[in-house]
Amino acid sequence: MIGEHTRGSDFDGLFDYLTEKRDHTVIELSGVSSVEHAGAEMQATSRMAPQISQPVLQISLSAAIEDGDKMDQARWRELFGLIKAELLMTSHQAVLVEHHDKAYHHAHGALCIIDPRPVALPRTGTR
C-alpha cells in the first residue's frame, strides 16, 4: 500500500478531480449530504476557521497490483477509518472515492481539516 497526502484550498477542484469524467465509486460520505454537495459543504465549514489557508486534505491510497483482489469497499473504508483515527479526524467531513482508471486499485479520501463540531465554552461563574 502506498499512501500520499496533499493540502489545498479548493474543495470544488478536488471533487471535480475525484468524480468528473472518471470511472469511480463513492465508498463513504461522512458529515456531508452527497458527493455533489460535499465541496460546498466543506467550504462552508472551513469558513469557521478563516485563519486556515489550506483546509483541504486529500489522501491517496494505492494498492499493489497483486493485492487488487483484496481491496473491496469494506477494506478501503477500514483503511480510511484508521487514517482518520490516527489524524484525530473521525468527526470531520470526509468523502472516500475509489477510481477505476488504472491497472491497480486506488482510492482518494477528501477531508476538511476543520472540525465541524461547535466548541462549547464553559459558562462564566462555573467551577
Kindly state whether residue 85 falls inside one of the protein's structural domains.
yes
| Residue 94 covered by a domain | yes
Could you report the per-residue pLDDT of 72-106, keeping only the tens digit for each? 999 999 999 999 999 999 999 999 999 998 888 89
DSSP 49: -
Q: Is 20 within the bounds of a domain? A: yes
Q: How many domains does the chain have?
A: 1
Which residue in the block uniquely carries the three cell numbers 472516500? 96
Helices (H) and strands (E) in the chain, counts: 3, 5
* Structural domain that includes position 30: 13-54+75-106+113-118
Whether 63 is in a domain gets the answer: no
Residue 123 lies in a domain: no
C-alpha grid cell, residue 110: 477528501
Evaluate whether residue 66 is within a structural domain. Answer: no
pLDDT tens-place string over residues 1-60 = 888 999 999 999 999 999 998 899 999 999 999 999 999 999 999 999 999 999 999 999
d(CA 4, CA 59): 6
* Number of other residues whose CB lies within 10 A of the CB of residue 20: 8
Does some domain include residue 4?
no
Asked whether residue 49 is assigned to any structural domain, the reply reads yes
